[in-house]
């Protein structure tokens, strides 16, 4: 992730130093933050290509690239959108909370550069929370326009590092339909309880379960992925034949990575003026005995309720009130029927004939 005047490199293996129970996240110029080491944050869990480029002009091959506002090829800009290559603002530097968690907030807004490809005002907020055994990603997209609706795709392109991708198992995809990009975008249904990858794979699974368990059979370690408002899961590995076509991807690196990506890509998000979209993901890593299913779903819920939504901004938190209640229904017509028929007495008569007694008035 590129940040204005600073390089925030929590996901970049070459810029992370680990010593005992501390991971140091270095920032330029000459500043650093020390974060408590945990298994979800462990750099050995995330793949970064040996030939990855860190020039600030091209998306980094590894870590967790941020796909927005377009998934895949794009006529108006780079593949997977511009969020992977623009500089992000640091709204809140890494800070330890009273709970012991470490929080940081980043954002991007529309600029001349983004409007040259996607001519809409927007604000995209990325809130990271580092817990003892978990890494949380809370994402918000806000449409500040008063007049214009826009649509977008959103995806966290997570690269997991594995000893042998052929012995990696993924749960939470059984029964889901998927778009197979290796077979001319044909649609199939997944019949396996546990998905394995043994060939070039590029699939968009639709309406997936809110949780996936990724198991490295060789080591016995597991990674749990929980997601909110991400209906799709992309599974990708270029295999040998496609790895040769990727300039920053080594020909022999495909066995040691698997992408399991939470996203909203098979259909776009449509955002009305003045509204916001929220999504989140939690990664929990560790030995088999330390990863359990379904004990953290409440933390995936957005910071909102019937009383309104709290939205992070560079100056604090923006309160977004709930929509106004619907107007009350009109009062019922009079139920009494006077003995003398006249248009003056009959409030229910809107023509020259009384619809109740069929008398001409």
Question: What are the φ/ψ torsions at residue 14 (nearest 5 degrees)?
Answer: -70, -15
Q: Which of 80, 136, 157, 264 is catalytic?
A: 157
Q: Which two tokens stand for residue 359?
A: 């008398």
Query: Active-site residue 290, yes or no?
Result: no
For 288, list phi and psi in degrees, rounded to 5.
-55, -45
Asked whether the beta carbons of 342 and 354 are under 8 A apart, the reply is no
DSSP string, 18-71: EETTEEEEEETTTEEEEEE--TTT-GGGB-B-TT---SSSS--SBS--EEBS--
Instruction: Give 81's strand partners.
Output: 68
Q: Rounded to the nearest 5°, which phi and psi values hold at 199?
A: -165, 175
Among candidate residues 261, 264, 278, 346, the one labeled active-site is 261
148 is annotated as an active-site residue: no
The length of the chain is 361
Return d(Cα 213, Cα 291) in angstroms, integer: 9
Among all residues, which ones are annotated catalytic?
A: 157, 261
């Amino acid at each position: 992730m590129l940040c204005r005047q600073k390089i925030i490199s929590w996901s970049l293996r070459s810029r992370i130093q680990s010593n005992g129970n501390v991971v140091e996240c270095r920032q330029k110029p000459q500043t650093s933050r020390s974060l408590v080491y945990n298994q979800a944050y462990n750099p050995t869990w995330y793949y970064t290509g040996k030939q990855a480029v860190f020039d600030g002009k091209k998306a980094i091959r590894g870590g967790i690239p941020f796909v927005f506002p377009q998934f895949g090829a794009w006529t108006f800009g780079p593949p997977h959108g511009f969020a992977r290559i623009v500089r992000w603002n640091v709204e809140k530097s890494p800070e330890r909370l009273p709970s012991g968690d470490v929080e940081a907030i980043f954002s991007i807004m529309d600029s001349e550069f983004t409007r040259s490809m996607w001519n809409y005002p927007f604000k995209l907020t990325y809130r990271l929370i580092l817990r003892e055994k978990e890494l949380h990603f809370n994402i918000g997209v806000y449409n500040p326009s008063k007049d214009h609706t826009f649509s977008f795709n959103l995806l966290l392109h997570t690269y997991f590092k594995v000893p042998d991708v052929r012995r990696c198992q993924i749960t939470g995809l059984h029964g889901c339909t998927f778009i197979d990009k290796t077979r001319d975008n044909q649609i199939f249904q997944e019949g396996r309880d546990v998905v394995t990858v043994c060939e070039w794979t590029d699939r968009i699974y639709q309406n997936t379960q809110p949780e996936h368990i990724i198991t490295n059979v060789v080591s016995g370690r597991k990674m749990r992925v929980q997601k909110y408002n991400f209906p799709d899961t992309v599974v990708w590995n270029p295999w040998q034949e496609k790895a040769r076509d990727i300039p920053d991807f080594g020909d022999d690196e495909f066995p040691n990575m698997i992408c399991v990506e939470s996203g909203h890509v098979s259909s776009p998000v449509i955002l009305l003026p003045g509204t916001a979209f929220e999504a989140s993901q939690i990664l929990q890593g560790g030995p088999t005995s330390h990863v359990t299913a379904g004990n953290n779903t409440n933390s995936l819920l957005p910071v909102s309720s019937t009383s309104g939504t709290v939205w992070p901004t560079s100056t604090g938190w923006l309160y977004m009130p709930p929509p106004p209640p619907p107007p009350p229904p009109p009062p019922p017509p009079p139920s009494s029927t006077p003995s003398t028929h006249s248009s003056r007495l009959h409030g229910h008569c809107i023509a020259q004939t009384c619809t109740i007694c069929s008398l001409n008035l």
